[in-house]
Structure 1
């Protein structure tokens, strides 16, 4: 019935499915949580900030290519749905002047990039002495994932709600039929999915405060050290939330703004920490007192809509993006795999892994989809040629 099955319905899985469909591959999406589940804590996508702010470590980092493709690709989304995606200024403020080699790789990619220094007549947000200013995209995270889901459905790509316990199951589901290729975009699920069980995967807990402030139209970041190495799971020092703050206006008519930031390694809790929320509100108010409104006088005057918590699907060593050849019915899987039938034992199949991007899913999404689709299409062409020769 299908050429491939994508497992995982976060922004990465949905973007990959859409790219594969656009290349003529018949694909289905299978996931426990699907694009409509914007209140689910089972995946990270609905809870993202979210904006385009590359974490890639220079041009040698493969993520820089994924980010560049996405930055350019979001132009089309913004034209089609300005309520989901818009380009607005961002102020990245900091306390130490950056050396030339420390400037971001994307300075020639983004719109209107400038390095600035505060003066008495031109102070910078938060009273910081230095800043980088440019224009970048911000997205309405939960509505954007729903938009991707709607695009897939309208194109005939099904989003099938199904909880997988093992990777082997995905090759022979009753709803999709027998396939030889699976795309593994399960995020944190890659840690426990039988057949993958990647112990390098860990949660990086995030917490934000959603507020109403329609008069705030610029993004402001004070994130020095926030995107540096976060340590290993189990490292107690790495779990201390960094003193970072960011302000991201959300597209759409609601006038909502997302305030953060928080990054706690190895913490699976999805309950809001009110002390951390207070810290976020105070720090963001110091960066932008306008959050409190025209008549506000302190951070307590900010209109809070919701406290949100999500678990970023991070991975030691970075994202895993690769093609793996495997065999169904491998020793250790047959007794626990209810959908593996006798004639499947020993069948040669493949999986393209696409997980472990941490908090970079939205800004990676389109470029990562291109990379993964290249691997998938290459495999399908190769396996088709091999069958033809046989």
Structure 2
């Protein structure tokens, strides 16, 4: 019935499904949480900020290529749906000037890039001494995720709600039939999915405050050392991690802005911490008093809409993007896997792994989709799929 199955319907899984379809591959999406579940804590996509602000560590990092492809690809999205995707200024303010060796790898292709130095006559946000400035994309995370889901369905690609026991099960589901290729975009699920069980996968807890601040239509980041936070709370002598703050306006008429600056490795809690929310509000107000409105006097005047918590699907060593060839029935007790009685035990199959992107899912989704589709075509071509 299908050439391939995509596991996961977050921004990565849906983007891959659309790319596969555009290349003539008949595909279905199978997921526990689907795009309409915009209040589900089971996946990260609805809770993202979100904007394009690359975390890639230079051109040698594979994520740099994914991010570059996505930056250019979002131009098409903005033209089709300006209510979901919009280009705005971003100020990345710094305490220390970056040297030539630390120059941002993307400075030559983002719009209007500048290195700035603050002065009394030309102060930078938060009165910080230095800043990188450019124009970037912002996305309405929950609405964009739903949009991708609607687009997938409109093209005749089914989204099947199903919780898998193992990756082997995906090759012979009753609703999709026998397939030889699966794309694994299960995010945090790859830590526990039988047959994958990647111990390098971990949650990086994020917490944001959604506020109403129509005067703020630019991104401001102060995130030096953002990823330095750890879960080593047992070591009382450990140096306190740096506190980060950022604000990302959302497209649309609501005047909403996402405030953040929280990154906790290994923390599975999805309950909002009001003490942390207060810290975020205070630090963001220092960067941009306009958050409190024209008559606001302090951070306490910022209009809070909601508190949001999501678990970034991170991975030690970075995202996993590779093709693995395997045989069904090589992991665990095969007779315990649903559908195994009617499957071809030992059958050769392929899996394209596309998970572990952490908080970068939206900003490298289109690039990830291209690379995953390249690997899928390579495998399916090797299997002599005639239609390709």
**Correspondence for 1:77:** 77
**Correspondence for 1:149:** 149
Q: What is the alpha-carbon distance in structure 2 between the residues aligned to residue 240 and residue 176 of structure 1?
A: 50
Q: What is the alpha-carbon distance in structure 2 between the residues aligned to residue 14 and residue 239 of structure 1?
A: 40
**Correspondence for 2:306:** 306
Q: What is the alpha-carbon distance in structure 2 between the residues aligned to residue 240 and residue 189 of structure 1?
A: 30
Q: What is the alpha-carbon distance in structure 1 between the residues aligned to residue 379 and residue 309 of structure 2?
A: 38
**Structure 1 residue 382 and structure 2 residue 371: aligned?**
no
- Do the aligned partners of residues 34 and 307 (structure 1) sit closer, same or farther apart at CA in structure 2, a change above 3 Å counting? same
Going by fraction, where is helix more abundant, 1 or 2? 1
**Correspondence for 1:167:** 167
Residues 241 and 264 in structure 1, CA contact (< 8 A), matched pair in contact too: no
Residues 10 and 145 in structure 1, CA contact (< 8 A), matched pair in contact too: yes
Q: What is the alpha-carbon distance in structure 2 between the residues aligned to residue 132 and residue 370 of structure 1?
A: 29
**Correspondence for 2:140:** 140
Residues 210 and 258 in structure 1, CA contact (< 8 A), matched pair in contact too: yes
**Correspondence for 2:189:** 189
Quote how far apart the aligned CAs of 1:98 are: 1.3
Q: What is the alpha-carbon distance in structure 1 between the residues aligned to residue 26 and residue 42 of structure 2?
A: 27
Alignment: residue pair count: 385
**Correspondence for 1:210:** 210
**Correspondence for 1:99:** 99
Structure 1 unaligned residues grouped into runs of 5+: none
Q: What is the alpha-carbon distance in structure 2 between the residues aligned to residue 188 and residue 239 of structure 1?
A: 28
**Correspondence for 1:24:** 24
Residues 239 and 265 in structure 1, CA contact (< 8 A), matched pair in contact too: no
Deviations 1:202-247 (A, max 9, x none): 00000000000111111100001114x555x667569966400001
Q: What is the alpha-carbon distance in structure 1 between the residues aligned to residue 335 and residue 178 of structure 2?
A: 19
Poorly superposed stretches of 4+, deviation over 3 Å: 233-242
Deviations 1:69-92 (A, max 9, x none): 000000000000000000000011
Quote how far apart the aligned CAs of 1:21 are: 0.4
Residues 241 and 262 in structure 1, CA contact (< 8 A), matched pair in contact too: no
Match of 2:165, SS state, is coil
Quote how far apart the aligned CAs of 1:102 are: 1.0
**Correspondence for 1:246:** 246
Aligned pairs (5 A) from 1:1-390 = 1-227=1-227, 230=229, 236=234, 242-384=242-384
Q: What is the alpha-carbon distance in structure 1 between the residues aligned to residue 129 and residue 255 of structure 2?
A: 29
Quote how far apart the aligned CAs of 1:340 are: 1.4
Match of 1:2, SS state, is coil
